[in-house]
């Protein structure tokens, strides 16, 4: 897994000096980066220009509203009584 600071470093070196996956791995052998991960980050940079997650990708967030809280409380109360 590559942390946020490493992603910033990779992005800067990719943009400013044109470093590819092999060069980055050779420059930072102590990081133990996998070539495939660096290649995927490079591809994402080429396509979007950013390493941020795409909006809307991943599992949708649940909505915590007063109505939902009340509905759950009613359901749990109903199951305790029955």
**Between helices 35-48 and 4-17, what is the axis angle to 10°?**
70
pLDDT of residue 53: 78
Half-sphere exposure of 14 (CA within 13 A, CB side): 22
Q: Is residue 45 part of a domain?
A: yes
Q: Is residue 81 part of a domain?
A: no
Q: Is residue 58 part of a domain?
A: no
Contact, 25 vs 38, CB < 8 A?
Answer: yes
Q: What value does the mean pLDDT take over residues 17-42? A: 93
Structural domain total, the chain: 1
Contact, 31 vs 6, CB < 8 A?
Answer: yes
Contact, 41 vs 51, CB < 8 A?
Answer: yes
Q: What value does the mean pLDDT take over residues 12-41? A: 93
Q: Is residue 77 part of a domain?
A: no
Q: Tell me the per-residue pLDDT of 31-67, one tens digit each, with 9 for 90 and over.
A: 999 999 999 999 999 988 888 877 776 777 776 778 8
Domain around 10: 1-52
pLDDT of residue 81: 58
């Amino acid at each position: 897994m590559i942390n946020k600071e490493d992603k910033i470093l990779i992005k800067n070196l990719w943009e400013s000096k044109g470093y590819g996956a092999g060069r980055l791995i050779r420059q930072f052998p102590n990081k133990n980066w996998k070539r495939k991960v660096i290649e995927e980050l490079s591809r994402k940079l080429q396509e979007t220009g950013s390493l941020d997650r795409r909006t809307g990708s991943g599992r949708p967030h649940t909505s915590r509203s007063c109505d939902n809280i009340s509905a759950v409380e009613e359901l749990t109360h109903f199951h305790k009584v029955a």
